[in-house]
Amino acid sequence: MNTAINSGDTAWVLMSCALVLMMTPALALFYGGMARRKNILSTLTLNYVFMALIGVQWILFGYTLAFGPDIGGFIGGLHFLGFNGVGALPNPDYSKTIPHNLFAAFQMMFAVITPALITGAFVERVRFKSFLLFSLLWATLVYDPLCHWVWGSGGWLARLGTLDFAGGTVVHIAAGFAALAFALAIGPRKGFGKIPMEPHNIPLTVIGAGLLWVGWFGFNAGSALAASGLATSAFVATHFAAASAAISWAAAEWVHNGKPSALGAISGCVAGLVAITPASGFVGPMSALIIGLIAGVVCFAMVSKVKARFRYDDSLDAFGVHGVGGTVGALLTGVFATKLINPVFKNDQGVVLGSGMIDGNFSQIFNQVVGVVIAVVLAVVGTLAILKVVDMFIGLRVSAEQEIEGLDVTLHGEEGYNWEGGTP
């Protein structure tokens, strides 16, 4: 078996690793601009902290639970505990041309950003220490097992044939539905629906969205784990889906509200990036364009209509964009995946089989539905159970006085904006 390190593949995955890490501070800016001014630092800190917290969890035991030797298709063994045996030689179960520790570091960046996505649903009302404990438990009990099921060697959803190239199921559906469960469990912000809660700094959010778009090329194209034609295909699909979703969201908003907004356009862009994530390594350019167009309209409808109808306080639309966009992308992967892009399925004789519905493989729709349902159930049940435990021991929500004054001052002892001469 050839397991020689390839310098080109290694260089590309190193770059992708850095791009994906950049997405977490980019998400902090994206979310931070949409929060109210009195909670900007709290929102930023909730995101930044994961680069440290999950980084430590990953090296100690998170990586081995997700990618260790398979135990019954459900969890990885403890062979890589403390990064034992995770060195410069390749791990042939995952990639034969890059160092094992690089593969582990690349996957760590996905583990870092996933719980950070959840914060968009409940900012401005949760105790900082409570969410630290919740996130540590959630990463261990929800993310790591689901990661093994879908991406781990021997994982049962991988054996079933569920396709998820870069995290539509593992990252976005899991985080999005966990965000919805969290928002419903903790309840709305004080004054929700009665007082204005508009974004305080949309330019900051625009900058964050731009950095997310750039970082997402590492997220998706890097998941090819090689500087290859497949990486190029995923790169192109990523851009086309983001572009078309930005247009379709803005167009829907223009028709619905009479004006297209900057926030709407960049939200559409992120929805397209989310939706193409599971499909990016399996679909062609036109299919990516269609996925983006659909995701932009569906996510706009969820945020503008469904959320308003049911009046749940998903503060920054983590569920509306990530949960819904991830679901759209995962299901459409079963429609548009093609063997011309990625011959992922072969029979016992080595003959390439169809990947998705457009290849005549109609059963792939079922495989994708199973993956979506399992991710939703695990995320929702796991989230509610963990919230119950955390609330029982240390409490979840800040006091009414802290919430009204703002979490920057009451939890962190700082202000995001120190205006000389007084607040304008």
For residue range 313-342, what is the model confidence (pLDDT) as tens digits? 999 999 999 999 999 999 999 999 999 999
- Residue 8: inside a domain: no
Q: Which residues of 331-344 are buried (b: 16+ CB within 10 A; e: fewer)?
A: bbbbbbbbbebbeb
What gap in Å lies between CA 156 and CA 134, rounded to an integer? 26
For the chain, percent of residues with pLDDT exceeding 70: 98
Which residues, 6 or more positions from 257, have their beta carbon under 8 angstroms from its beta carbon? none
pLDDT at 100: 98
pLDDT at 423: 53
**380-383: Cβ within 8 A, 24+ apart:** 380/177, 380/178, 380/180, 380/181, 382/138, 382/141, 382/142, 382/178, 383/138, 383/142, 383/177, 383/178, 383/181, 383/182, 383/185
- Residue 52: inside a domain: yes
pLDDT at 280: 98
With 70 as the cut, is the pLDDT of residue 304 above it?
A: yes
- Residue 123: inside a domain: yes
What pTM was estimated for this model as a whole?
A: 0.96
What confidence tens digit (pLDDT) does each residue in 352-390 have? 999 999 999 999 999 999 999 999 999 999 999 999 999
DSSP 329: H
Instruction: Give the mean model confidence (pLDDT) for residues 199-209.
Output: 97
Where residue 375 sits, what CATH number does that domain have? 1.10.3430.10
With 60 as the cut, is the pLDDT of residue 176 above it?
A: yes
Instruction: Give the mean model confidence (pLDDT) for residues 210-222.
Output: 98
Six-digit token pair at 245?
């979703």
pLDDT at 421: 54
Residue corresponding to tokens 């063994």:
77
pLDDT at 422: 54
What gap in Å lies between CA 117 and CA 256, rounded to an integer? 27
Do the beta carbons of residue 24 and residue 55 sit within 8 Å? no
Instruction: Give the mean model confidence (pLDDT) for residues 16-35.
Output: 97
Angstrom distances, CA of residue 92 to CA of 18, 78, 218, 241, 330: 23, 18, 22, 32, 27
pLDDT at 171: 98
Q: What confidence tier does 150 reach under pLDDT thresholds 50, 70, 90?
A: very high
Range of the domain at 320: 28-81+97-412
Question: How many CA atoms does the CB half-sphere of 84 hold within 13 Å?
Answer: 12
With 70 as the cut, is the pLDDT of residue 211 above it?
A: yes
Q: What confidence tier does 121 reach under pLDDT thresholds 50, 70, 90?
A: very high
What gap in Å lies between CA 94 and CA 81, rounded to an integer? 18
What confidence tens digit (pLDDT) does each residue in 232-258 have? 999 999 999 999 999 999 999 999 999
With 90 as the cut, is the pLDDT of residue 419 above it?
A: no
Do the beta carbons of residue 352 and residue 345 sit within 8 Å? yes
What gap in Å lies between CA 251 and CA 301, rounded to an integer? 12
Six-digit token pair at 362?
């109609």
Q: How many domains does the chain have?
A: 1
- Residue 293: inside a domain: yes
Mean pLDDT of the chain, nearest integer: 96
pLDDT at 359: 96
- Residue 11: inside a domain: no
- Residue 247: inside a domain: yes
- Residue 417: inside a domain: no
